[in-house]
Structure 1
Amino acid sequence: MCISWVVLAFCCLGQLCAGKGHLSPQIAASRLAANNPTLTTVTLEKPFCMFDGSLHPNKSYAIYLYAMKESVSSLVINNSSKPLDSTFQQTRGGQLGPYKAALFNVPNCASPPRLADVGDVNKVSGVLKQYLFRVGDDGTCLYDPNFLGVCNPPLAPDTTYRFKYLLLDSTEGIVKDQTLWSDPIKTRRVKLPSKIDTWPGRRSGDMIVITSILSVLMFLLLAGFLASVSSVVMRSVDSSAETRRMSQTIQQSEPRPQLSSE
């Protein structure tokens, strides 16, 4: 199954490379990231092979990921071709405009992870992390006074977001290329307790296992109780029968009085 995940990832990357005219961040396939999006996160495919034509071998580059709520200003570059440094707090979580959600190195399209590593369970997670990025995955950066990096706090539930990748020339500090904004992606809605489906057919696997274990324990407890009651009844019956036998034996062993003759 792990091998199929990585093969699917390569297929997705191949589609990205084939459609460079209309590049935009893509939500990760369900087989690569289950339960996506969640209430507060969205997992995206990293921009493999998107900016190869804009890279110079003697320069250093980085990828910026911007996020914003739908229907707000979408500008991420100022008049000097420099990227905006708007933060999550300044934009009220993307409500007033795009904010910088992540900064990472340009994915190496020419040297992807080795397929031989897929067979190692300890390396599968690392391989997938090289292909995917999870927006909203940092729940502490907003409240850490010593945090100096790019903050990637949880997204809002039941909210539509859009995302954009930007290629930055780290040497000159200017933007060299960028993708289109992604299609709208909506986080999940919180379910009200009154609307949660409690039908057994919709319960999780853990609930089914726990219910099965409790049912077996209840059966064993009931069987033990019945066995105990049966044992007490049998002992009572045996005791009564023994008492009757002893009584008959005593009566038979008593000497009968003899009649005197005149």
Structure 2
Amino acid sequence: MPDEAARPAGAPLYKQVEGLLRAQIEAGKHPVGTALPPEQDLAASLHVSRATVRSAIRVLAEDGLVKPTPGVGTLVVRSRTPARNSTLLGLTEDPRLTGLPSRARTLVAELCTPTAAVRDTLALRDGERVLHLLRLRDLAGAPFTVIRSYVPEWVGLTPKDDFSGAIYDLIERSRKLHITHGHDTVAARLATAEETDVLEIAPATPVLTIRRTSYVEPNRPVEYAEAALRSDLYEYNVTLTRAGR
């Protein structure tokens, strides 16, 4: 580990070290599943005491980023995941961009009559059914996002399909439809009781929510999805361009 004595000033030493290690973890310098350098090596390279390093690691452990493991060291167990807005991806596809191990598990898959709100969003007629899915995606073994999706029955997906990958892939490859665009609404709220249980978070924990309607040509809704994402593992980055005058 290179000499990084030029730490930001103004905060307690252990907070400076904690911030540095957190930034390195988020940047991928210490990938999930690997161990941080030993305390004595970090202390030497940062010109601080081992007690300072130990305090910094304790904060990271309390935040769930690392886990001290006897005989192994301090393992990195998770990292924040920045979202990218340049390309339309399925809500289960985005985590794969991090390179971290990720998998989706289907909790519910059923054909049902949609609520009036879902029916109107998908531009369906009375009596038309939808495929209702509830899926949980983890990131490096930690619950990351729970996604509730509604796909019109006319698309042709069934509860017996394999939903461990992205719904977009099933729609485009299996059903020969081309998803052209989507509309997202991003908000923050407190987790519901169901989300608290599935995401393994404390009651009243804030979550980031994304409501998305996806379309195929010619501007026909093909999926409506509601996702709740753990706020300690996800951040949403947006690049804005000022229109010319």
The bucket for the TM-score relative to the shorter chain is under 0.3
Higher strand share: 2
Larger-gyration structure (1/2): 1
TM-score with structure 1 setting the length = 0.20
Higher helix share: 1
The higher-RCO structure (CA 8 Å, 6+ apart) is 1
